[in-house]
Structure 1
């Protein structure tokens, strides 16, 4: 046993620590709205940091034989265009010049017209809320689809605070910090093909499944589904990316394969570039789901189960509340109705802005 144990050595292939720093282009050209592109760089496999955004680049949408449209730099490698209405019969590409004067460009790609979303449907299944997308193309020209989504939900903190510590004293709280809204975006690759079907129809494509005890459906939940038509090449790239990033970890999953995008480095053709830029119009549809529409036996996981009320004496007010980590909730009164202290709890148990925003979304019903 000792001999066998001494023969085991860790295997660390060179690729884990390879100092590669390739450009990553994430996004698509939106032909009927704002285009958002994020530029970043690859990291080696044992790196612990988030991929850094590529700053100070010049990013353009270029029409074949036509005008160019500049994207404006935002935070963390994000670049955004003005709302555009691109010509549906022309081809477009993305052109990039980085701060070190390296030039990159995608292939010119046809502008795909996305058919409308017919409906967003849902079913309350035994273990959760399943949401679906339904669409079709009567002209039989799409065949390749991709979806993204934005979620928004309403939530409350356990304690309703009527007091706040401000300017070194306890005062009445003027805004409600008990009810907030929170959101998230899709992170998985959602694609589907009807190329092998007799009709270009997508029926009940699963978008997301929300567990029956999720806090997202405690009060009211909304999802905005975004739909895009894809070329065959864009679909195949997304399919490979999905296999490489999501379908790994077991003996029966497919082996990772080389990603071949449509972006090239013009300054150095041998330099790999990660990404695939497609051009398509965007179709969106939003639905709301209220708690009363769901099974009454569904319970909600209490994400604030650790929260508790404490009491703070008047002499300890400044020492307790000055840091902002603990917030007052209400007065503690004696038999004569005079304030002798305050109930209090941690900021995240009182102020919902720790996890969300008190600003009601414009679209909220």
Structure 2
């Protein structure tokens, strides 16, 4: 009887139709992010549109292509941005563009469907110099794990101007580091899967996009107006590769508007929600972008303009108190994305 019951149960289960969840079509918010500063370079504005959730999580963020993007200042100067064809949805100013202290800048966008969006004007504050930048190892205990996570934290010393209220925002640039691999441990791919040691190459220099910018580092001078102070200004996680030898990165300090600071503070608070009952409920954070065709349309993101200073930093393994065990890559280092056999021409640790 037991066998008959099991056979009947299996037969019935084979006849069950899959349950398809119908997810209602949701809003596809336009998101605009980027900033211009007083340092001359090609500044980037990123335009994307969020997709709705469905039974398959595909295309949740889509680049917005072929838009007309311009930046206007309060003096009537107009700068056209060009779309980066290798990174669709990213629009770049000319390489010689820089914002001027005291001027106000407005971002204007026209999509290929004719819809027009604009930012509120952002006035450029004078940059404040970083008197000194230091770094230190930071260990982060992980519940249930023997080995902690870790990384390198940046600390800046600044002399805050006394004349006005100041707001600060720190960002990392793209970075380069010495990459060690083990080509002598190389195996042929399946199905053969046999030892096939390579003679080259063990050491490369690898470029990577700005690490650590997932965290937001901001400050205002309410508690140190007109004084010298020391502030944590960045953190780069240790993935077992970055700090095996020498790591180079630029740290930028941007003087931003009070409105931009409030926006970043809200984003930071949302990002740090831990999931406890004491957390504030998540909320949609709107920035300074508006639609000229539909004032009720929700547009996400913020266009900032600010005064920037930056410092180049070389982080040396020998000066760190703690680093992760070196991650093993059993192959020629040149096959790793972003790796080069020769160091950059300006490499000078």
Residues 178/214 of structure 1: CA separation in 2 closer, same or farther (3 Å cut): closer
Residues 40/149 of structure 1: CA separation in 2 closer, same or farther (3 Å cut): same
Q: 1:21 aligns with which of 4, 18, 28?
A: 28
| Alignment match, 1:43 | 51
**Gapped runs of 5+ residues in structure 2?**
1-20, 141-149, 186-197
Q: 1:138 aligns with which of 161, 169, 180?
A: 161
Q: 2:135 aligns with which of 122, 137, 150?
A: 122
Tell me how far apart the structure 2 counterparts of residues 299 and 284 of structure 1 sit (CA, whole Å).
26
| Matched-pair contact (CA < 8 Å) for 2:160–2:225 | no
| Alignment match, 2:103 | 90
Q: 1:58 aligns with which of 68, 76, 81?
A: 68
Tell me how far apart the structure 2 counterparts of residues 350 and 182 of structure 1 sit (CA, whole Å).
16
| Alignment match, 1:183 | 208
Residues 45/239 of structure 1: CA separation in 2 closer, same or farther (3 Å cut): farther
| Alignment match, 2:182 | 158
| Matched-pair contact (CA < 8 Å) for 1:59–1:71 | yes
- Structure 1 residues 187-336: aligned runs within 5 Å: 187-199=214-226, 201-208=228-235, 210-211=237-238, 214-295=240-321, 298=322, 300-304=324-328, 307=330
TM-score normalised by L of structure 2: 0.75
Tell me how far apart the structure 2 counterparts of residues 179 and 273 of structure 1 sit (CA, whole Å).
43
Tell me how far apart the structure 2 counterparts of residues 17 and 147 of structure 1 sit (CA, whole Å).
39
Deviations 1:146-180 (CA, angstroms, capped at 9, x unpaired) = 0110333211211269xxxxxxxxxxx99857423
Matched, 1:71 2:96: no
Q: CA deviation at 1:141?
A: 3.0
| Matched-pair contact (CA < 8 Å) for 1:117–1:227 | yes
Out of 247-256 and 95-104, give the one that drifted further.
247-256
Matched, 1:81 2:97: no
Aligned length: 296
Residues 43/244 of structure 1: CA separation in 2 closer, same or farther (3 Å cut): farther
Residues 49/121 of structure 1: CA separation in 2 closer, same or farther (3 Å cut): same
Deviations 1:270-311 (CA, angstroms, capped at 9, x unpaired) = 21111121211221111112222234xx56424227x4xxxx
Q: CA deviation at 1:192?
A: 1.2
| Matched-pair contact (CA < 8 Å) for 1:159–1:178 | no
Matched, 1:110 2:123: yes
Deviations 1:42-97 (CA, angstroms, capped at 9, x unpaired) = 22355443511110001001112512111111122000101224342322100100
| Matched-pair contact (CA < 8 Å) for 2:69–2:91 | yes
Tell me how far apart the structure 1 counterparts of residues 199 and 138 of structure 2 sit (CA, whole Å).
42
CA RMSD of aligned residues (A): 2.9
Secondary structure at 2:51 match in 1: coil
Tell me how far apart the structure 2 counterparts of residues 282 and 275 of structure 1 sit (CA, whole Å).
20
Secondary structure at 1:233 match in 2: helix
Tell me how far apart the structure 2 counterparts of residues 17 and 133 of structure 1 sit (CA, whole Å).
48
Tell me how far apart the structure 2 counterparts of residues 351 and 206 of structure 1 sit (CA, whole Å).
32
Residues 94/136 of structure 1: CA separation in 2 closer, same or farther (3 Å cut): same
